[in-house]
Amino acid sequence: MTDTRFDPSSVDGRWQSAWKEAGTFTADSDSKKPKSYILEMFPYPSGRIHMGHVRNYTMGDVLARYKKMQGHEVLHPMGWDAFGMPAENAAMEKKVHPGEWTYANIAAMKKQLQGIGFALDWTREFATCDPEYYGHEQALFLDMYEAGLVYRRSSEVNWDPVDMTVLANEQVIDGKGWRSGAEVEKRKLDQWFMKITDFAEDLLDGLAELKDWPDKVRLMQENWIGKSSGLEFSFDLSNGETLPVYTTRPDTIFGASFCAIAADHPIAQGLMDDAAVAAFVEECKKGGTTAAELETAEKLGFDTGVTAKHPFTGEAMPLFIANFVLMDYGTGAVMGVPGHDQRDFEFATKYDLPFTRVVA
């Protein structure tokens, strides 16, 4: 009796060989058909495929095959996100060259992906650690630099003292590095920045045209672009200095009852000879790094003893160093309006500061 059960070990291999021989999934750049480009994020070459990869690339595979059945010329490539600290750390741990370790992992994972039979154009494969790839990135960086779109300045970063690298806010979990588990430090480093703010209006206008995108996704993009409209002005301080602040609600200025500066603000740094100030600044450096963490964390402040003169009433308002003020936003200083801001309300409640309601 003939066994009629499906045998994937023979059937899959036979069809995959037929697809490869026929170039079924190899994209023809000169094709006159309508073109579709399907791209999932490239995997990091850890050495093994897991179910998250299978889920991710299956979705792209379904879309690529669907478009091909509709008569499209489909480009569905695969590559490897192969640069970064994980490769260096693994190489140091295993005492091998990072290139040797990385390319061995790529070979193993490629074999696994090919065994699944995804509709991928393997002729377009590349790894981000290949010089022929990152050479283009370097050339693009130089073009942007020459166009004035790249600049260098000092900024506070999340520093992992074990991995010896900078972490994104999302890579800091409960104050610790997501990979090493070490307590993350806040450090000032000179870094390169790109002037995406020069294109804020174009980006926002483009979002308005994405009619089929979910509202929550468009809102996330708007927040990332980060356009903010407001007023910058200065308070005169009792120590003879002036304090520039930025606010999106200048109409509430008559409700201001205090000013606050970031822990790494120049005025705060100028008070570091005071042991109590230095201790508070150090405590601020251990706080959360994301906007959500700063919103939910307990609001803490240190009264500097300096006062700010209200520009209209002449009232002397206390100047605090506060853990919720970011040096990278605005001027690194804010006016506190407890009657019209939840964060300021919490802070004023904690430190028994006055409330004035000015907008109803």
pLDDT exceeding 90 applies to what percent of the chain? Answer: 63
Do 144 and 86 form a contact (C-beta atoms < 8 A)?
A: no
Q: How many CB atoms lie within 10 A of CB 68?
A: 18
pLDDT computed for residue 1 by the predictor? 56
Give the pair of three-digit tokens for residue 37.
Answer: 């480009």
280-302 per-position pLDDT tens digit: 998 887 766 555 666 677 899 99
Do 89 and 114 form a contact (C-beta atoms < 8 A)?
A: no
In whole angstroms, give the CA distance from residue 147 to residue 153.
17
In whole angstroms, give the CA distance from residue 28 to residue 17.
19
pLDDT computed for residue 294 by the predictor? 65
Region 82-96 average pLDDT: 80
As a whole number of angstroms, the longest Cα–Cα distance in the chain is 100
Domains and CATH numbers, the chain: 8-126 (3.40.50.620), 148-194 (no CATH), 231-350 (3.90.740.10)
Residue partners of 197: CB distance under 8 A and separation at least 6: 226, 227
In whole angstroms, give the CA distance from residue 81 to residue 89.
16
In terms of pLDDT, which residue wins out, 86 or 257? Answer: 257
SS3 92: helix
pLDDT computed for residue 117 by the predictor? 92
In terms of pLDDT, which residue wins out, 263 or 169? Answer: 263
Whether this model's pTM surpasses 0.85: no
Phi, psi of 219 (to 5 degrees): -65, -40
SS3 289: coil
